[in-house]
Amino acid sequence: MEAPKPTAVPDIKTLRDAIPAKCFERSMLRSLSYVARDLVAVSVLFYSAVQLMKLDLPLALAIPAWGLYSFVTGLFFTGLWILAHECGHDSFSADLTVNATVGWALHSMLMVPFFSWKFSHSRHHRYHNHMEKDTVFVPHRKPEAVRKSEPSIMEKIIDHTAADAPIFSILSLAVHQLFGWPMYILLNAGAGVNSLTRGNRKNTPKYKQSHLDPTCSVFTQSEMPFVALSNVGLLITLTALIRVSQSIGVANTCLMYGLPYLWMNHWIVAITYLHHTHEDAAHYEAEDWTFVKGALSTVDREFGFIGRHIFHGIIEYHVVHHMFPRIPFYHCEEATWAVAPMLGDKYIEQRTNFFIDLWEAFTQCKYVESDKKGSLMWAKS
């Protein structure tokens, strides 16, 4: 019996025509309602943190109380981060000024340089899973992995080539989750060799790839003023945090804002990593890459109530977002099921435990190698 033939990849127009027109409609009022909901939740949580500070609990009670607070607040921080992400794609509303203003305000509150991230993230969408031009989680090819027989600890963390020892893998994963985002912002970690707007990453010092430097090689000249504006937003938030720490103390400020911030970093790195790391998610050399191939090499996963209602479905319906990033998140489910039947075996979804998926991807997907069909596939350990 012959094996079934792989599904032919539809062109982007065919896929777009299959999606109901209403899925492309952006409602400013609806989007702002989600912002209001999440801001109210964070405000209530901040108020609860202030009350918690006044209780002077014994350590046995304080640790779980602050742990629960930081976890829940980190979820809503991430929700706001994702709404700013909508602004960065102009899927928040049809008004570009509103998108820029809301996105800048929300990301600045979360110590994220909005325009700096927006510009490099747009190049990620333009070149997703391109081995040279993608800007996030570009994997090693097999020869590189073999050649780096004794990589540094930082290389193992950034390039997800951790040793096989479980304890080292656990520690590496923890650092990967907590510091992967700052390393990307400060050093452009994980980007492809030809992902810069000027020059080559191999020949460009790491400090000239910082998202905080308006003159760095990540950005074009026309983008530089907006990168500076992003830094202004960070300075405003940093100043506010300093003033708060003068009122309630540095330790309490770290508990109230710092711990949720670390949770947010974890979620953003985990979500992005799992969207682009899966045994069936191919990467492509320049001569084989196309926009649709790259979009179809992303993954829809599952995170239950939190994913669908606090993270605004970004985990569950990411493939269609890569194809049509201006579809608002609240229409992505309908759009997904409109195109999924056309994609057949090219549509990648994994509706299993999110944390187990993270562990398996981090420990098993070490590098990619050619499948001799024009794709680079993950070689599982």
61 CB-near residues (< 8 Å, 6+ apart): none
Contacts of 82 (CB under 8 A, 6+ apart): 311, 312, 314, 329
Bridge partners of residue 130, in order along the sequence: 284
> What pLDDT tens digit does each residue of the chain (381 aa) get?
454 555 677 889 999 999 999 999 999 999 999 999 999 999 999 999 999 999 989 999 999 999 999 999 999 999 999 999 999 999 999 999 999 999 999 999 999 999 999 999 999 999 999 999 999 999 988 765 555 445 554 555 545 544 456 787 788 888 888 889 999 999 999 899 999 998 888 888 888 899 999 999 999 999 999 999 999 999 999 999 999 999 999 999 999 999 999 999 999 999 999 999 999 999 999 999 999 999 999 999 999 999 999 999 999 999 999 999 999 999 999 999 999 999 999 999 999 999 999 999 998 888 899 887 778 898 865
Nearest to 42, CA basis, from 110, 124, 136, 127:
110
Tokens 């500076």 map to which residue?
228
217-244 tens-digit pLDDT: 999 999 999 999 999 999 999 999 999 9
pTM of the model as a whole: 0.91
Q: pLDDT by residue (tens digit) across 177-202? A: 888 999 999 999 989 999 999 888 88
CA atoms of 331 and 351, how far apart (whole Å)? 19
Q: Is 11 helix (H, G, I), strand (E, B) or coil?
A: coil
Q: Residue 65 burial by CB count (10 A; 0-12/13-18/19+): exposed, middle or buried?
A: middle
Residues 325-361 pLDDT 10s? 999 999 999 999 999 999 999 999 999 999 999 999 9
Q: Distance between CA 75 and CA 108 in Å, rounded?
A: 17
For 112-145, give the DSSP string.
--HHHHHHHHHHHHHTTTBTTT--S-PPPBHHHH
Per-residue model confidence (pLDDT) at position 149: 46
- What single DSSP character describes residue 284? B
pLDDT at 380: 67
**pLDDT at residue 155, rounded to an integer:** 53
* Tokens matching residue 176: 């990967």
- Phi and psi angles of residue 350, each rounded to the nearest 5 degrees, phi first: -140, 105
